[in-house]
Structure 1
């Protein structure tokens, strides 16, 4: 569990900082950025697969197993949808709304964990859920309109997390499969843009173009860390650790991107972080009791 916790924290810090990265490509439309993100992730993951001992055989097995391929295809479409919405929102001045979306996601994760994985949160953990729910409700009301970006991000990533719990392949093989599924679509779109002279990526300044080519590594590494964490932590715990990412994003939206920020959001923020503290303490208590019981048997 300690390893899983470390992987989760690193992944969510990286995701929290990603808006700064995608802002570099503000002159490109979201579809073109996403396509390059998929293409270079595919290239990066294939390099890892070829370099890893026995990874190629695992990858072939994944791509020829119908049930697993269906799961990987589903997770691929879910995370691609999440990426597209996130990139569009960041480059169109909705960073606060993306932060709200990832605050909602843990609540959605807990609901999925209870409904599909039969996880049973304790009373104190439910209290944490209630506190977080109040915080999210305050933020949503203060936002003033239906937060479709937030809800779309929460649903797509929450379902992606659930599907990842069902895949038995290791993180790198699974991610290679996900990028392989959507690679033909991304490549076809880039070819179309180039053929119709609508592409903008290749006219970027050299340094920015290099950064775009590194989107594969920037995408793959947090997902690999997340995939490792997902196999070692309960989905409900993974959801609460996720508050690290949107907290970083919220700070960036206010102090770096200068988006409008209502003081009411501070109240929402206080509720959500209180929920995180309550949940962390409750989880440590559960772990301690489990350890004590194990030592007695």
Structure 2
């Protein structure tokens, strides 16, 4: 690994860590908006996030790329679906934090990789290795344990996991033809009309808090929620271009782990035995996935090395002109 690759790896690791730490402690930021309805929080996150992304597009001069994506019906439809799904995630993230159920949100993010595996099988028709089936089964048992022990189905966890899993699937279908900056700009912009209607409706109903009786610190927190939303997403995009997917995948569990720490140690949410057992099973399922992925990667590297070593002379690296 040369100096440039080493620097890229270091910068990517720093970007990923800051991104996941920001997401992990974001429930604590939402506590500053305790008196604001979750729907209003999401509406302002959308509006101010769109403003931030449009400024970034203007500064980086990506208007041509943005207009090209908006003119592509398939890309526009996929981004529209992605925007609705991420809007659902944002709403229940805020709702969970403001109703003392941040632990359920954390559980949803832990379950998300298992949902992604199931979507790979049912939608993409991918074949799972035995270890992946075992991991999915353990994850299902974890949900059953939490449901039986807690008395109710952790529906917030289920909604967050399914919505984010579907969001990942849509982004996967989108491919690499859309840059992260342009994609996030379109996603946030497509939600702005719905967010604007929500803000106006809540203002007319007298349930809004923004700019009621003049601007105050709560209004500032609502505005800052936009940059707080896009900042980790942009860092994540930067990290994805610099780190191996396996390392990025393993680091993603830092987010719900910090959410759990925030919920239990700072927000003082209840954590009965059934929840601990359920989380332990989810961690076991994720551990199986991580170990299996590492073994598969080693096998692939070894197979590639053998293929290169046994290839006839002059065929390695493509045809020789």
TM range (shorter): 0.7 to 0.9
After superposition, what is the alpha-carbon deviation per residue over 1:171-215, rounded to whole angstroms, capped at 9, x for unaligned?
111010001101122123223434554321225874443232111
What corresponds to 2:294 in structure 1?
Answer: 284
Contact map agreement 2:146 2:278 (CA 8 A) in 1: yes
User: How many residues align structurally?
Assistant: 295
**Residues 189, 88 of structure 1: CA spacing in aligned structure 2 closer, same or farther, 3 A cutoff?**
same
**Residues 228, 275 of structure 1: CA spacing in aligned structure 2 closer, same or farther, 3 A cutoff?**
farther
Aligned: 1:30 with 2:30: no
RMSD: 3.0
- TM-score w.r.t. the length of structure 1 is 0.86
Aligned: 1:39 with 2:39: no
What corresponds to 1:80 in structure 2?
Answer: 87
- TM-score w.r.t. the length of structure 2 is 0.81
Q: CA offset at residue 122 of structure 1?
A: 2.9
SS in 2 for 1:202: coil
Superposition map of 1:229-248 within 5 A: 242-248=252-258
Of residues 237-246 and 124-133 in structure 1, the stretch that sits farther from structure 2 once superposed is 237-246
Larger Rg: 2
SS in 1 for 2:25: helix
What corresponds to 1:150 in structure 2?
Answer: 157
What corresponds to 1:273 in structure 2?
Answer: 283
SS in 1 for 2:271: coil
Of residues 163-172 and 67-76 in structure 1, the stretch that sits farther from structure 2 once superposed is 163-172
What corresponds to 2:318 in structure 1?
Answer: none
Contact map agreement 2:103 2:269 (CA 8 A) in 1: yes
Gaps of 5+ in 1: none
Contact map agreement 1:103 1:136 (CA 8 A) in 2: no
Of residues 251-260 and 177-186 in structure 1, the stretch that sits farther from structure 2 once superposed is 251-260
Q: CA offset at residue 238 of structure 1?
A: 7.3
What corresponds to 1:15 in structure 2?
Answer: 23
Q: Pick the aligned partner of 1:193 from 192, 202, 214.
A: 202
**Residues 108, 239 of structure 1: CA spacing in aligned structure 2 closer, same or farther, 3 A cutoff?**
farther
Contact map agreement 2:33 2:221 (CA 8 A) in 1: no
Q: CA offset at residue 267 of structure 1?
A: 2.3
Q: Partners in 2 of 1:147 and 1:187 — Cα distance?
A: 31
Aligned: 1:182 with 2:191: yes
What corresponds to 1:219 in structure 2?
Answer: 229
**Residues 77, 68 of structure 1: CA spacing in aligned structure 2 closer, same or farther, 3 A cutoff?**
same
Gaps of 5+ in 2: 1-7, 309-321
Aligned: 1:295 with 2:308: no
Contact map agreement 1:131 1:271 (CA 8 A) in 2: yes
After superposition, what is the alpha-carbon deviation per residue over 1:274-294, rounded to whole angstroms, capped at 9, x for unaligned?
333332222122222222222
Q: Partners in 1 of 2:101 and 2:183 — Cα distance?
A: 31
Contact map agreement 2:135 2:286 (CA 8 A) in 1: yes
Contact map agreement 1:72 1:174 (CA 8 A) in 2: yes
Superposition map of 1:71-150 within 5 A: 71-150=78-157
Q: Partners in 1 of 2:141 and 2:42 — Cα distance?
A: 34
